[in-house]
Amino acid sequence: MPTLDYSVLPFQVFIGDLEITELIDRFEISRPIPEQGNTLTWTGAFNIYFNPEFVTESQIDPVTNPAYFRPYQKQCIFSIMGFIVCRFYIERYVYDSQEKTGEASIYQILDIANSDEPSDEIELSITAQGN
């Protein structure tokens, strides 16, 4: 009997040039079915945890690293198997220094001036659960 592979495809998450893939505990993005009045942009959230093997704690704290974790600062990229799924910005980020975890809400801004458009898929939801 054949087995089904439910493993998550290799993905990467970058905030600017800072790769946070190994810190991801949860990453979700989705785009609603278009209705009159709503946009076709991606929205989502991610949770990260401090891992001293990959970053210092100051790198994921918005107080000590505002250039990366304060809202609207850096363009972020989510890719699967090397293909960019979406580019997004952090809308809100909260870091808990006691638990050493961060939680962000994210969204995609379309850059109409550079012919940026939503992808052709009408309904798509991607969830990745880390360690």
d(CA 42, CA 30): 6
Residue with tokens 């808990």: 96
pLDDT of residue 123: 44
Q: Is residue 110 in a domain?
A: yes
Q: Is residue 6 in a domain?
A: no
Structural domain count of the chain: 1
Q: Is residue 2 in a domain?
A: no
pLDDT of residue 38: 54
pLDDT of residue 51: 93
Per-residue tens of pLDDT for the chain, all 131 residues: 566 555 667 889 999 999 999 999 988 887 766 665 555 577 889 999 999 999 999 999 999 999 998 888 898 988 888 888 888 899 999 999 999 999 999 988 655 444 555 554 434 445 555 55
Residue with tokens 């990467």: 12
Q: Is residue 39 in a domain?
A: yes
pLDDT of residue 10: 86
- What is the three-class DSSP state of 126? strand
d(CA 12, CA 59): 18
Q: Is residue 117 in a domain?
A: yes
State the residue range of the domain holding 48: 11-129
Q: Is residue 1 in a domain?
A: no
DSSP track, 43-92: EEEEEEE--TTT--GGGG-TTT-HHHHSTTSS-EEEEETTEEEEEEEEEE
